[in-house]
Amino acid sequence: MPLPIRRLKRLIKTFMPETVTAQREMTFAQAIREALAEEMRRDPRVCIFGEDVAEAGTPFKVLSGLVEEFGADRVLDTPISEAGFTGMGVGAAMTGLRPVVDIMFGDFLTLTMDQLVNQAAKVHYMSGGTWKVPMVLRTTLGATRRSAAQHSQSLHAWLCHVPGLKVAMPSTPYDAKGLLKTAIRDDNPVIFLEDKMMYKQKGLVPAEEYTIPFGVADVKREGEDVTLVATSSMVEVALGAAKLLGGIGVSAEVIDPRTLWPLDEKALVASAKKTSRAIVIDEGYRRYGVTGEIASVIAEGAFFNLEAPVKRMGAMHVPIPFSPPLEDQTVPTDQSVFEEARKLCGK
């Protein structure tokens, strides 16, 4: 029996979103805003709290226009009290709202840790499954914005370590919109990390409604010789490296897990099995980081198909320096990933 047209269309949409009709080009920031606006229209319980989220629309202007449409009750400017308004988000989520808490810089996650780790993550389990915390915490990650050590960190590994939290890290406007809509509809606390260098990056986003399920990796580029597992900001870097590798005859596959928890272990292992080599690239600190976990998943799952040890690339183990030539040393680049992959492939 031939594939029904509808199923065929769905397959095309899943694997090649750019081929769907009525695509719009928009920035990552616009995709985030559109996801929020759609979900706020769809569900009156969805609301936003954070510093300068209303008229200011955040320093990155991601939320511009939302307060005008939804009012100050639903787009609530808070004082600079990250722990306080995150905790308020937990309580609001438990009792019937679906808050999207905005933490301006990922570095400020440190201020919210008790509320995330001891409260949000544990309420459902500790209460024997009776209370739920349908809250999203959006924040940023990423260096190279010349913002120095307290505005440049990528601390998502801390959150992946905590049972009860989900962690999403989109790398394109398409993924950002679809994953954020899923996050808002999820009944668990979801930490949603956005690379602040990516807000102006453009991509195609369908006009029609869609969501992206958690725990489904996306192959951003198919290849045969080496798998580059990359997250968030590192997907662009991996794609740049893949292009350079193409120039020396190495075909690189780039795969983005999109959510770090749940993690699509199967897809990562399958890609590594196919190419027999893998490098994991993430902007968090390499030491005790996300790359270690994913490398271990691949090493355990694809051991007998691997031609080389799984390599890991992440931020250097230093506070992010201000001085541009120093800062540029700290995170993986197209060139450094290219070099690592070349060595790994014996080229």
Partner 1 sequence: MKTVEESARTEPGLPPELALRMYRQMVRIRLFEERVNELYTRALMPGLAHLYSGEEAVAVGICEALQTADYVTSTHRGHGHCLAKGATPDRMFAELLGKEAGYCRGKGGSMHIADPTTGNLGANAIVGGSAGIATGAALTAKRLKTGQVSVCFFGEGALGQGLLYEVMNLASLYKLPVIYACENNLYTEYTHFTETTAGDILARGTAFGLHAEKVDGQDVRAVYAAAQELVNRARQGGGPALLLCDTYRYTGHHVGDINREYYRSKQEEQEWRTKRDPIQLMGEWLTGQKIADTTALQRTEEIVRQEMKAAVEFAIAAPYPSVEEVDQDVYA
Residue type, 219: V
Told to check if 188 binds partner 1 by CB under 8 A, we report: yes
Among 58, 86, 232, 271, binds partner 1 (CB under 8 A): 86
- In whole angstroms, how close is the CB of 265 to partner 1 at the nearest point? 16
Where does this chain touch partner 1 (CB under 8 A) — which range of 4-12, 32-40, 74-82, 270-278? 74-82
**Who's near 279: CB < 8 A, 6+ residues apart?**
226, 227, 228, 229, 310, 311, 312, 313, 337, 340, 341, 344
CA dist., res. 38 & res. 227, Å (int): 35
CA dist., res. 347 & res. 39, Å (int): 49
CA dist., res. 240 & res. 203, Å (int): 16
Residues 271 to 310 in contact with partner 1, rule: CB under 8 A:
none
- In whole angstroms, how close is the CB of 185 to partner 1 at the nearest point? 12
Q: How many residues bind partner 1 (CB under 8 A)?
A: 43
Among 14, 19, 110, 118, binds partner 1 (CB under 8 A): 118
Q: Left, alpha or beta for 232 (phi > 0: left; psi -120 to 50: alpha)? A: left
Catalytic positions are 151
Where does this chain touch partner 1 (CB under 8 A) — which range of 14-22, 89-97, 153-161, 274-282? 89-97
Told to check if 78 binds partner 1 by CB under 8 A, we report: yes
Using an 8 Å Cβ cutoff, are 295 and 278 in contact?
yes
Q: Which residues pair with 253 in a beta bridge?
A: 227
**DSSP code of 21?**
S
Helices 265-275 & 290-302, crossing angle to 10 degrees?
60
Told to check if 51 binds partner 1 by CB under 8 A, we report: no
- In whole angstroms, how close is the CB of 121 to partner 1 at the nearest point? 9
Using an 8 Å Cβ cutoff, are 137 and 192 in contact?
yes
Told to check if 215 binds partner 1 by CB under 8 A, we report: no
Q: Quick one: 81 or 329, whose CB is closer to partner 1? A: 81
> Residue 92, SS3?
helix
Q: Quick one: 79 or 247, whose CB is closer to partner 1? A: 79
Where does this chain touch partner 1 (CB under 8 A) — which range of 79-87, 174-182, 251-259, 265-273? 79-87
Residues 120 to 159 in contact with partner 1, rule: CB under 8 A:
123-134
Report which of 270, 251, 245 is spatially closest to residue 340, judged by C-alpha positions: 245
Site of interaction with partner 1 (CB under 8 A): 47, 73, 76, 78-79, 81, 83-97, 99, 114-115, 118-119, 123-134, 163-164, 166, 187-188
